[in-house]
Structure 1
Amino acid sequence: MREVRTLFVDASEEGVRLDRWFKRRWPHLNHIQIQKLTRSGQIRVDGSRAKPDTRLTAGAQVRVPPLPDAPPAGEKARLDPRDTAFAKSLVLYEDEEVLALNKPAGLAVQGGTKTVRHVDRLLSAWGEGLTRPRLVHRLDRDTSGVLVLGKTPGAAAKLSGAFARRRAQKTYWALVSGFPKPGEGVLDLPLAKRGMGDRELVVPADPKDPDAEAAETEFVTISRAGSRVAWMALRPRTGRTHQLRAHMLAMGHPILGDPKYGNEASAGLSEGLKLQLHARRLVLPHPSRGTLTLEAPLSAEMKAGFARFGFDEHEADPEPFGPGRRR
Structure 2
Amino acid sequence: MAMLVGPNLLRRLLRLQPSAIDGGSGLIISVIHQFRSHYSTTAELSADHPNDEGNSEKKDSKWFTLPPFAKTVNASVLRAKLAGKSHLKEADESTAIKWVLKCCPELPRSLVQKLFRLRQVRRESKIVEVSDDDSQVQRIQLKRVGAKDSLNIGDRIFLPITVREFPEEKQEHGCTDEELNFIRNLELYKDPAIIVLNKPPGMPVQGGIGIKWSLDELAATWLCYDYSEPPRLVHRLDRDCSGILVMGRTQTSARILHSVFREETIGVSEHDFDNEKRILQKKYWALVIGSPRRPKGTISAPLRKVVVDDGKSDRITVFDNTKIMSSQHAITEYSVIKTSSHGYTWLELSPLTGRKHQLRVHCAEILGTPIVGDYKYGWQAHRRWQNLPESDLGKNSNEKFSKENSLPFGLNMNSGSILEKRLRLHLHCREMILPNVSQALQYLQSSTDHDLSKLKSLEIVAPLPSYMQKSWDILNS
Check whether TM > 0.5: yes
Aligned to 2:364: 249
Is 1:96 the counterpart of 2:184? The answer is no
Residue 301 of structure 1 deviates from its aligned partner by: 2.5
Gaps in structure 2 of 5+ consecutive residues: 1-70, 80-100, 115-147, 149-161, 265-278, 388-417, 440-455
Structure-2 change in CA distance of 1:107 and 1:67 (3 Å): farther
CA contact (8 A) 2:192 2:438 kept: no
Counterpart residue identity of residue 231, structure 1: W
Residue 299 (str. 1) matches residue 465 (str. 2): yes
Which residue in 1 is equivalent to 2:249?
151
Residue of structure 2 in register with 1:277 after alignment: 427
Distance 1:222 1:80, change over 3 A: same
Does 2:181 align with 1:85? Answer: yes
Question: Greater strand percent: which structure?
Answer: 1
Conserved? CA contact 1:159–1:286, under 8 Å: no
SS at match of 1:122: helix
What amino acid does structure 1 have at the position aligned with 2:258?
S
> What is aligned with 1:125?
222
How many corresponding residue pairs?
A: 266
Instruction: Write the letter of the residue equivalent to 1:307.
Output: D
Provide closer, same or farther for how the CA distance between residues 240 and 68 of structure 1 changes in structure 2, counting only shifts above 3 A.
farther
Partner of 1:187: 299
| Residue in structure 1 matched with residue 381 of structure 2 by the alignment | 265
The superposition leaves residues 191-235 of structure 1 with CA deviations (integer Å, 9 ceiling, x where unpaired) of 001127872210011212221000000000011003611100000
Q: 5+ residue gaps in structure 1?
A: 1-9, 38-42, 45-58, 60-65, 313-327
% identity of equivalent residues: 33
Q: Which residue of 1 aligns with 2:438?
A: 288
The separation in 2 between residues aligned to 1:188 and 1:288, in whole angstroms, is 33
Tell me how far apart the structure 1 counterparts of residues 424 and 359 of structure 2 sit (CA, whole Å).
16
Write the deviation string for residues 273-314 of structure 1: whole angstroms up to 9, x where unpaired.
200000000001010333110000010131232234x137xx
Q: TM-score, normalised by structure 2?
A: 0.51
- Work out which of the two has the higher radius of gyration on C-alpha atoms and give 1 or 2: 2
| Aligned residues of 2:242 and 2:428 also touching (Cα < 8 A) | yes
Question: How far off its partner does 1:79 sit?
Answer: 3.8
Give the match for residue 105 of structure 1.
Answer: 201
- Match of 1:96, SS? coil
8 Å contact from structure 1 (residues 170, 235) kept in 2: yes
User: Residues of 1 paired with 2:318 and 2:173: CA distance?
Assistant: 43
Normalised by the size of structure 1, how large is the TM-score?
A: 0.72
Look up the equivalent residue of 1:266 and give its one-letter code.
H
Moved more, 80-89 or 202-211: 80-89
Partner Cα distance (1:13, 1:246) in 2: 35
Corresponding residue SS for 2:238: coil
How far the C-alpha of 1:89 sits from its partner, in A, is: 1.5
Question: Is 1:178 the equivalent of 2:276?
Answer: no
Which of the two has greater helix per residue? Answer: 2
State the match for 1:219 in structure 2.
Answer: 334
